Amino acid sequence: MLVLGIETSCDETAAAVVSDAAPYICSNVVFSQIAEHRPYGGIVPEVAARAHLTHLDPVIERALAEAGIGFNDLDAVAATGGPGLIGGVIVGVTEAKAIALARGLPFVAVNHLEGHALSARLVAPVEFPFLLLLVSGGHCQLQIVEGIGRYRRLGTTIDDAAGEAFDKGAKLLGLGYPGGPAIERAATSGVAKRAPLPRPMVGREGCDFSFSGLKTALRLAVEKRAGALSAADQADLAASLQDSIVASLADRTANAIALFRERHPDGKTLVVAGGVAANTALRRRLTELAAKAGLDFVAPPLSLCTDNGAMIAWAGLERLKAGLADALDFAPRPRWPLDPNAVPVRGAGVKA
């Protein structure tokens, strides 16, 4: 079985072909729009939508060529149906529907977050239920993944996502965009202790996140240096910011492990997914945490952490196998919680 997956919900135009037999990923083509957004210091939705329109056809062509197949060899088409920047989601969904209609193939609308959630199963035999820390530019959640389409939320952010904390922090430090990799790079030559920052939510009950206070603390630390931020200050503050974010994520995850244990004493695995899962300090910390709790730890390779088409194709394939194809009247969804029954956290806004 061969599935084409299309991802256009943010600033990556991506397409991939995956198969239900090893080695699973036949191709995985990602065109990053970073250069197109860099002049604005962040993602501009309108620019992203137009860029997806320009780049999607050639990206799909390359994905098919690298897999060594044509449209006729496909068994289904999957696309991110949301949540995300709606202009881009519409481009991807419309393209997928057109291919499905023209070729008489099943169409699957994939929740982008489910794409991240299931990406671990593309690289390791991870069984349900597993505990998931999903950390990306738009989302920051702890979920118990009980099955395809079956999620139980333990915590979410009440303001910024972890990736946003990296991105906004990098902007404040003048390190550019995208912030996560820039902070990680700068942090290697910094000493966190020289520029202490608060560790949000650490020691508190529950599994929710909050990063806006940390952002304010960083802004005040930058202002204190009154426009004379040396390279050493930049590095120290980057190291400190990364330390604080990682400490907060790890503390919340430790609480979630306890809840996961209570509910699923046989549960075996902690999974991290989403762009921030590319962070080495975070991976190291979670490895220790899982080992201490006697859980296996699975983090997808970096190329599957940040947005990509393979995770969408794979989630599409898993949904198809569960008999969950979608009709061609599926409407793209700017918001689409994984766990529709969860009570929104106060102040969580669109992050719910």
State the residues that interact with Zn ion by CB under 5 A.
136, 307
Helix runs in 173-228, H state only: 179-187, 212-224
CB 134, min distance to Zn ion, A:
9
Residues 1-20, mask of contacts with ligand KG4 (x by CB under 6 A):
---------x----------
**DSSP annotation string for 277-341:** GG-HHHHHHHHHHHHHHT-EEE---HHHHSS-HHHHHHHHHHHHHTT--B-TTPPP-S---SSTT
The residue among 99 and 305 lying less far from ligand KG4, judged by its C-beta, is 305
Q: Which phi and psi angles does 61 have, rounded to 5°?
A: -55, -45
Q: Which of 81, 190, 275, 332 binds ligand KG4 (CB under 6 A)?
A: 275
Euclidean distance between CA atoms 280 and 258, whole angstroms = 24
CB 199, min distance to Zn ion, A:
25
Q: Which of 138, 190, 200, 332 binds ligand KG4 (CB under 6 A)?
A: 138
Number of residues that bind ligand KG4 (CB under 6 A): 19
Amino acid (one-letter) located at 151: Y
Tokens found for residue 280:
């080495």
Contact assessment for residue 105 and residue 131, using Cβ atoms and an 8 Å cutoff: no
Q: Which of 26, 63, 89, 276 binds ligand KG4 (CB under 6 A)?
A: 276
Contact assessment for residue 207 and residue 259, using Cβ atoms and an 8 Å cutoff: yes
Strands 150-156 and 140-147: antiparallel
In the list Zn ion, ligand KG4, none, the entry touching 314 (Cβ below 5 to 8 angstroms by class) is none
- Please state, in angstroms and as integers, the Cα–Cα distance from residue 22 to each residue in 1, 3, 18, 30, 319, following that order: 11, 14, 9, 21, 18
Contact assessment for residue 336 and residue 109, using Cβ atoms and an 8 Å cutoff: no
CB within 8 A of 94, min separation 6: which ones? none
**Using rule CB under 6 A, residue 306 touches ligand KG4:** yes
In the list ligand KG4, Zn ion, none, the entry touching 181 (Cβ below 5 to 8 angstroms by class) is ligand KG4
Interacting span for ligand KG4 (CB under 6 A) from 94-102, 132-140, 195-203, 336-344: 132-140
CB 328, min distance to ligand KG4, A:
25
CB 168, min distance to ligand KG4, A:
9
Q: Which of 83, 279, 289, 299 binds ligand KG4 (CB under 6 A)?
A: 279
Length of the chain: 352
The residue among 100 and 153 lying less far from ligand KG4, judged by its C-beta, is 153
The residue among 179 and 267 lying less far from ligand KG4, judged by its C-beta, is 179
Measured between alpha carbons, how far apart are the two ends of the chain, in Å?
Answer: 34
Q: Which of 278, 295, 304, 311 binds ligand KG4 (CB under 6 A)?
A: 278
Contact assessment for residue 5 and residue 18, using Cβ atoms and an 8 Å cutoff: yes
The H or E element that residue 96 is part of is helix 86-103
**Using rule CB under 6 A, residue 267 touches ligand KG4:** no
Interacting span for ligand KG4 (CB under 6 A) from 62-70, 179-187, 220-228, 340-348: 179-187
115 alpha carbon, distance to own chain's centre = 9
Interacting span for ligand KG4 (CB under 6 A) from 46-54, 215-223, 273-281, 309-317: 273-281
- Reduced to 3 states, what is the DSSP secondary structure of residue 75? coil
CB 55, min distance to ligand KG4, A:
16
Interacting span for ligand KG4 (CB under 6 A) from 26-34, 37-45, 187-195, 274-282: 274-282
Q: Which of 27, 28, 136, 269 binds ligand KG4 (CB under 6 A)?
A: 136
Strands 107-111 and 76-82: parallel
**Using rule CB under 6 A, residue 82 touches ligand KG4:** no
Chain residues that interact with ligand KG4, rule: CB under 6 A: 10, 136-138, 163, 166-167, 178-181, 184, 274-276, 278-279, 306-307
